[in-house]
Amino acid sequence: MNDMDAAIQGKVDLWLQGNYDQATKEEIIRLQKENPIELTDSFYRNLEFGTGGLRGIMGVGTNRMNKYTIGMATQGYANYLKKSFTNREIRVAIAHDSRNNSRFFAETTANIFAANGIKVFLFQSLRPTPELSFTIRTLACQGGVVCTASHNPKEYNGYKAYWDDGGQLVPPHDNNVIKEVEKIASVDEVKWSGGEANITIIGKEIDEAYISMVRGLSVYPEIIEKQHNLRIVYTPIHGTGIKLVPEVLQRFGFSNVHVVDEQATPDGNFPTVIYPNPEESEAMSIGLRKAKQIDADILLGTDPDADRVGIGVKDKKGDWVLMNGNQTAVLAFNYMIEARKVKGLAQPNDMVVKTIVTTDLIDEIARRNEIKCYNVLTGFKYIAELIKEKEATEHYVIGGEESYGLMIGASIRDKDAVSAVALLCEMAAYEKNRGKSLYDKLIELYVQYGFYKESLISITKKGMNGQKEIADMMSAYRSHPPAAINGSPVVQLLDYELRTGKNLKTGESWAIGLPQSNVLQFILEDGTKISARPSGTEPKIKFYFSVHTTLANAADFDRVHAVLNARIDGVIQDMKLK
């Protein structure tokens, strides 16, 4: 038995002998007999409380999502809240999605906070993640938690931690909470019960306030009145969107909404999909079939916690196209900029925010409309942080990222698919009123501002060696950047971990004014941008590709699209990523 085996066995013995429930101990004994490899994976490390919280496979063990890993995380978070907000009542809000065990995890979290003397507002049943962010702000809470693993497969669950602005934890709070969680050495240090009187169940009253806020985001209600019969197909993909999206669309004035029945019931087993993610065409396929059947104008799908949205529209030939996150973001950003300007709602200090891996077409649209566009690290917590930093002097309009997330208006501080669905339907109504579709509008924008094409590859490295393989890959790119990719010289290397940019031709370097993050970007002479970023929540590394050129007219779209596709394919092949 080597040292690693001994360390794992020590953890297993601790769980078998300690204050863990009998069902947990019996499951460990079963794994010892039937699946020692699974047992090793369940205990070989502690499930890391990262800067966004916890996320992992459900099961027994230190490397799994269960009552005990969540309990220790909550105790550490409670300790930090009590250190940060002294001599006052501390309030937290708690929500959960449709995943298996999410309600149990949410109630466990609520009981521990309450036992620590913290006032808890727990939703009576599942709710979208963005409503949790809204609730923290509405009820003046100091923190919050939502139990969700977003779009991960059914085996997963997670625990997202929030701060008093309604955004996920950012420095210094994220690292400080991690330190407090790491101090909890035993489940015996967790206050499991005794404060039940501190828990208040919430529901409809918050729903109403949230729906009213979303309703206030509408720019063209008079257009919806004209186009109220817009044919909308919506799927919640077995998630929380069913709680609010149909109601919000009705309140906006849409009268022809078709919910995908096969995916309408919340179900943590996600029986109709492999991945409950609107980024996956397979997850949208049942909705697509219904959209074709009724000749819909727009198809929309939200992930289990309703913070991501995917859309489908018809192209010029009448064929259905699933838009990617960059295309959806371009349409949404442009609408909020353009429509607010036409309606006289635009303010001189308007600003929009995107992430460094989201299409630069948004930067170009903002620049031409003389609106500030800020770029932040990947994650809506950084958009929320920037709003907080700028809210005294600048007016936030919209933020977004390529991974199907939008955040419209400053009343929430996390991505919100509920309000995004409503505004995207309003945009479709606006274009239909012009005799056009959202697809037509996207091509108009390409002609006006430039044709930007993006693509993404995710490479998964599972198991104990996965993280090391990813780290080695990043280290090699960092120390030996390629001189050229796909025949075009690499002219700039942007290293967000070292927080420096470098001109590889002149040797000139400069500081990057963003927090440290393990991201590398290669800028090629032909304008191609390649970003490499290990995931913060999964054992995978993501490569983002962006190319662009001019588009003289809509008729030339197919030809130019093929050229840009070929350029991206050339880059991928040259980098040996396929």
- pLDDT tens column, 388-421: 999 999 999 999 999 999 999 999 999 999 999 9
Q: Which residue has the tokens 């720019």?
A: 219
Give CATH superfamily name and number for 210-449.
Alpha-D-Glucose-1,6-Bisphosphate, subunit A, domain 3 (3.40.120.10)
Q: Which residue has the tokens 């000749």?
A: 295
Beta strand spans in 478-528 (E): 484-485, 488-495, 500-503, 509-511, 520-524
Largest CA distance in the chain: 74
Whether residue 356 contacts residue 388, with contact meaning beta carbons closer than 8 Å, is answered with: no
pLDDT-based confidence at residue 2 (cuts at 50, 70, 90): very low
Which CATH class, in words, describes the domain spanning 45-202? alpha beta
Exposure string over 327-352, b if 16+ CB within 10 A, otherwise e: bbbbbbbbbbbbbbeeeeebeeebbb
In the CATH hierarchy, which fold is given to the domain comprising 451-574? TATA-Binding Protein (3.30.310)
CA distance 54 to 148: 9
What is the mean predicted confidence (pLDDT) over 308-327?
Answer: 96
Distances (CA, A) of 166 to 146, 403, 405, 411: 12, 20, 16, 9
Q: Which residue has the tokens 């840009």?
A: 564
| Tokens found for residue 308 | 């991501």
CA distance 150 to 155: 12
Task: Write down the H helix ranges in 85-242.
Answer: 102-115, 129-138, 173-183, 204-215, 221-226
In three-state secondary structure terms, 58 is strand
pLDDT-based confidence at residue 464 (cuts at 50, 70, 90): low
pLDDT of residue 463: 66
What's the CA angle centered on 339, arms 335 and 343, to 5 degrees? 170
In three-state secondary structure terms, 50 is strand
Half-sphere CA count of 455, side-chain side, radius 13 A: 16
| Rounded percentage of the chain residues whose pLDDT exceeds 90 | 92
Task: Write down the H helix ranges in 257-409.
Answer: 281-294, 325-342, 361-368, 380-390
pLDDT of residue 449: 98
pLDDT-based confidence at residue 189 (cuts at 50, 70, 90): very high
What is the mean predicted confidence (pLDDT) over 231-260?
Answer: 98
The CA R_g of the chain, rounded to the nearest whole Å, is 24
User: Has residue 3 got a pLDDT over 70?
Assistant: no
Residues 6+ apart with CB under 8 A from 272: 238, 262, 263, 286
CA distance 578 to 562: 19
pLDDT of residue 50: 79
Domains 210-449 and 451-574 share a fold: no
Angle (deg, nearest 10), helices 325-342 and 438-449: 80
What's the CA angle centered on 231, arms 227 and 232, to 5 degrees? 110
In three-state secondary structure terms, 153 is coil
User: Has residue 1 got a pLDDT over 70?
Assistant: no
Cα 542 to chain centroid distance, Å, stands at 14
Range with the lowest mean pLDDT among 340-349, 447-456, 529-538? 529-538
Phi, psi dihedrals of residue 552, rounded to the nearest 5°: -70, -40
CA distance 519 to 359: 16
What does the pLDDT look like over 538-560, one tens digit per residue? 678 999 999 999 999 999 999 99
Distances (CA, A) of 212 to 208, 209, 447: 6, 5, 37
Q: Which residues pair with 320 in a beta bridge?
A: 314
What is the mean predicted confidence (pLDDT) over 282-302?
Answer: 98
| Tokens found for residue 346 | 């635009």
- Of residues 468 and 371, more confidence is placed in 371
pLDDT-based confidence at residue 536 (cuts at 50, 70, 90): low
Catalytic residues: 150
Nearest to 61 by CA among 80, 47, 50: 47
Question: For the chain, which residues make up each domain, given as ranges?
Answer: 45-202, 210-449, 451-574
Q: Taking all residues of the chain, what is their mean pLDDT, rounded to a whole number? A: 95
CA distance 201 to 534: 38
In three-state secondary structure terms, 233 is strand
Range with the lowest mean pLDDT among 55-59, 288-292, 465-469? 465-469
What does the pLDDT look like over 332-381, one tens digit per residue? 999 999 999 999 999 999 999 999 999 999 999 999 999 999 999 999 99
Helix H or strand E encompassing 380: helix 380-390
pLDDT of residue 395: 98
Exposure string over 40-62, b if 16+ CB within 10 A, otherwise e: bbbbbeebebebbbbbbbbbbbb
CA distance 353 to 366: 10
Phi, psi dihedrals of residue 37, rounded to the nearest 5°: -65, -45
| Rounded percentage of the chain residues whose pLDDT exceeds 70 | 98
Whether residue 239 contacts residue 98, with contact meaning beta carbons closer than 8 Å, is answered with: yes
